[in-house]
Structure 1
């Protein structure tokens, strides 16, 4: 039997873009999809859009405590073979995304898979223009190149990894990828699978947010890095170089 998917979408006042995300899931040609919504207490039309679905779904309401907890709650009720997290403002680029993922996971026998995303800015889709390095644990320790919306994990492997660390605000996905990488090598695809929406409203604070996210990434990286002093020094050096570039770019803006 073909692999089954649990697509988990976390929502909070997500009515503006949720319909696009939902439409991309409904358009999938894969026949075995469990659709799960985890809502943080929406007051707009989010819940109305979910209730209007003419297909089975699960809805967890008033889940508080941040996005990591919401994603873990979705995992708790999921029954599919493969877990997919699709943010409420992102969407799958093609109807065959899940069937492609299922085929590649079945053919490889591996526990997880990631592809690429395209950036959606306004109404324009743009390639990420990033050539990801070939996957290895050491390459992942150098920097996170695994895009969250284009990552798919077998549920048993996700449970072994323990889900998302709820104490992290920015690097919960990076932390999870590193945990998964200690358990299983992924399938790596170079194809874009998902559109990742970039909001113009966040651009004015992007430098500050990027610095905070980078600092948390660095703390996570050191948690998983070896105790070799030369290797740890290299991590420190890369972090400070990247941080300085962001600060300089902000000063020149």
Structure 2
């Protein structure tokens, strides 16, 4: 639906030519991975953060132009204060540590979600990472942080309503092509493939509008064990699917 027309396509590796251009991942299972090893949940979150780097690095060879990862949901604030504080510290550390590497790898980073509840130091780092990578034309990495699909739609609707109230938008012109222009993902194409790790089979309030016609893969692998090889296999499986978008082939 929406594309960055100023960004050229990457060339996929052999065998994934029909693979997904935009992959979104619900990175689940960090806590269980750690607990299975007798370690605290935050140990698993740190292992999961390291896994992100491998997945980002393999995207060009798989023809994945856009990668969107679900880092922290609007519902995750319900976790213990210790875990939430540890996650916020991890996000700050990850951004500080990976900023130069992401820029050097030609990765462009965007954040989606409501930043209001995040601490000022984290917001400043997010802004800095976006500025540092805004000119990059390689993998387009979007990190959903304090993000919820329902919250996103509610915020978008408020912005749309303000434009109607200010006379910038005629209510008669509002259709299904209008709202996406107000979403956090307005400059991104909708995801072709949504992957959830850890064996759970739910979408957890992630990209509700954007994934209306996405293909889904629910896999048993816990996120810290997820590999580039497994992502490649999912891309090949995607390429074999018959995507009709509601139509019937004759």
Which one scores higher on RCO, CA 8 angstroms, separation ≥ 6? 2
Q: Which has the higher strand share?
A: 1
What range is the shorter-chain TM-score in?
Answer: under 0.3
TM-score (norm 1): 0.24
TM-score (norm 2): 0.24
